[in-house]
A and B are shown apart, each in its own frame.
Chain A
Amino acid sequence: MSEKSKKKILVIEDNLQINRIYVSKFQFEGMEVSTASNGDEGLEKIQAEEPDLILLDIMLPGKSGFEVLKIIKENPQTKNIPVLILTNLSQTEEQKKGEKLGAEDYFVKTNTSIFQVVKKAKEILQRSNTSK
């Protein structure tokens, strides 16, 4: 697999242990992963790295995940990047809010296995690949 065809994933998540899991799992699956531990860092990295998929937590220090998502979707350069919300906020209201703001899907971390996350990520990347 050439460097160029490697899919890039950006993880915006403040829990370092969870970040490590994402990194090892997605690297194992042959993807390129970078992480950001807060919203502002995440927004900078989106500009710099142009990822193919963003995994976004909601409860972040500083800007909340919803605010970050809104900025991503309002920017014409970044609005087409699919965003997957992964949080431990399980209320329907939050889920609806995330979907309304344009998130691809919404997962409650404890109710999801890491394999389901990988499967969903692959699905989304596959789809964006074929639509390009």
Chain B
Amino acid sequence: MKLKIKFSRLFWIVVFIEVSLSALFFFFLYSFPELIQKSYVGTIYMVFGGILLVTFFISLFAILESIKIIRLIEKISQFSHRIAYGDFQTEIKSKRKDELGTLIEDLEQMKITLGDSFRKLKKEKEKTETIIKNMQNGVIVLDQRGKIVLMNIAAKRMTGQSTKPYRGKNYQEILSIKGKEEDSFDLKSWINKTIQARKNINLPENCFLQLPSKEEIAIEGTIFPLLGRKEGVDNLVFVFSDVTARREVERMRAEFVFILSHQLQEPITSIKWNTELLLENKSKDLTEIQKTSLGDIYQSTAKMIDLFNNLLNVSDIVNGKLSLKLTPTQIKKMVQEIIDGLQPLAKSRNIKLITQFEENLPLVNIDRLKINQAIQNIIENAICYGKVKGRVVVSLKKEKEEIVFSCQDDGIGITAKAQSKIFYKFFRADNAKQKLFKGSGLGLYIAKIFVEKMPGGKIWFHSGGLNLGSVFYISFPIYFSKK
């Protein structure tokens, strides 16, 4: 930058007056020498000349000083420009001890501090970039118009875009995501949903990413917004992972369970029905011990069937084969039948099953088999984890537009730690394992999925904590016939 010194208008006026007065002084000196020789005029004249000379030197000094200051300001300006462009090596030096000197010292200090922060930030940015770049999860960042601004290695690999430039492309050119059934998933609407909600949204289960080669990979993913300063969303980040291998293992496991349990169910049917016939005959040929043995066989078989049903249900859930057959149902009759079936189990643990059913409950629209299983699982848990010689209270009542089922026990309770996990697949709380070593960890998982699969179905629980018992609730909206 070339040094350009601009003087103010006042400065030029002062110079003009100075020059004019000097010119006038010399003009009089040469034109009227006899007048000046008169003593008093001469004295005045000399004083005037002296003043003129002094002011001349003062002005000269002022001019030189301003040039210096202006040069320094120019230097400061250049210095700050360099810093603005990220050059923290630049220097500014001055030996001045005045205010300007202090300003320059402050600026130097500021440069050092800024430089440190800048380097730290840069390092952090590089670190984050390296992490994003090498993450196993795919990361795609979109701008407000849906154009891609960043895509990491995993995302490129998964979308089959490894060698192609992506910047500025619309996401729809690269991402083709489908649900399990054709057209059941639309990424655009999910993106809009995220923008509207301004919070993270997970993709639904069973999503597939279609590659340019038409090959499909199973994915799991989350879309989250990077919020702008105002109401808007600046960027959208889509993080996803390839779960094809895991889904395949799950599918195979479910298939294995399905085949195995069906092969086993045939002989179990034979055991169950034969035992039923023997028990029904109440044959006089049977001794008391034999009768007890038969009862035990029957109980064991019933338990085994229960376990199979749960395993099969999980296999259905994992395979996405869960479909509904909704029927308007009198839930009271259903719950009563479940309780009748569980009486022998309750008796064996000396637990009293108490029912509190409201009269004339309206119908609910549910899948009977599934809800039967869900309620059975919950009451069975209450019996298994309830206090021996305790009581389990099962109630049904109408609350506003819903029928609420509840099952209360006075057993081992649910610790605060376990409360967030009790509906997880295969989860068993520590106190539950201590109480009953064997258990599948499937009952509540299935109950929750089945209940929430019903239109308007809800399931929740309450427990004061360890050994304070627990209450499970299920509710369904009342069924109104369409007639």
Contact = CB atoms under 8 A, between A and B. Distances in A.
A111 B369 CA distance: 10
A3 interface: no
A92 B277 contact: no
B269 A88 contact: yes
Interface stretch (A15-23, A33-41, A74-82): A15-23
B312 interface: yes
A71 interface: no
A110 interface: yes
Nearest to B301: A110
A110 to B, nearest CB: 5
Contacts of B276: 113-115
Nearest to B370: A92
A109 B277 contact: no
A110 B306 CA distance: 9
Contacts of B269: 15, 18, 88, 109-110
A18 B276 CA distance: 13
B325 A96 contact: yes
B325 to A, nearest CB: 5
Interface residues of B, number: 26
A87 to B, nearest CB: 9
Interface string A49-89: 00000000001000000000000000000000000000011
Nearest to B323: A92
B280 interface: yes
Interface string B455-468: 00000000000000
Q: Is the interface of B mostly helix, strand, loop or mixed?
A: helix
Contact of A109 (B265, B280, B321): B265
Best-surrounded residue of A17, A90, A93, A96 (most CB of chain B within 10 A): A90
Contacts of B479: none
Contact of B277 (A15, A24, A93): A24
Interface string B367-404: 10110000000000000000000000000000000000
A91 to B, nearest CB: 6
A93 B274 contact: no
B273 A88 contact: no
B165 to A, nearest CB: 47
Given A91-B321, A92-B369, A95-B325, A18 B277 contact: no
A25 interface: yes
Contacts of B305: 110-111
Interface residues of A, number: 22
Given A92-B323, A93-B321, A109-B265, A21 B273 contact: yes
Contacts of B367: 92
Contacts of A91: 316, 321, 323
A14 B312 CA distance: 22
B102 interface: no
A115 B277 CA distance: 9
Given A114-B276, A115-B276, A92 B324 contact: yes
Contacts of B309: 90, 110-111
Contact of A88 (B262, B280, B316, B324): B262
A88 B273 CA distance: 14
B262 to A, nearest CB: 6
B6 to A, nearest CB: 89
Interface in B140-189: none
Interface in B247-279: 262, 265-270, 272-274, 276-277
A25 B278 CA distance: 11
A103 to B, nearest CB: 14
A82 B248 CA distance: 41
Contacts of A59: 262
A17 B270 contact: yes
Contact of B273 (A18, A93, A95, A96): A18
Interface of B: 262, 265-270, 272-274, 276-277, 280, 305, 308-309, 312, 316, 321-325, 367, 369-370
Interface of A: 15, 17-18, 21, 24-25, 59, 88-93, 95-96, 108-111, 113-115
- What 4 A-B pairs come out closest when comparing CB atoms? A88-B265, A17-B270, A109-B269, A114-B273
8 contacts: A17-B267, A21-B273, A88-B265, A92-B325, A92-B369, A96-B323, A109-B269, A113-B276
Given A93-B321, A114-B277, 4 more contacts: A18-B266, A88-B266, A92-B367, A109-B265
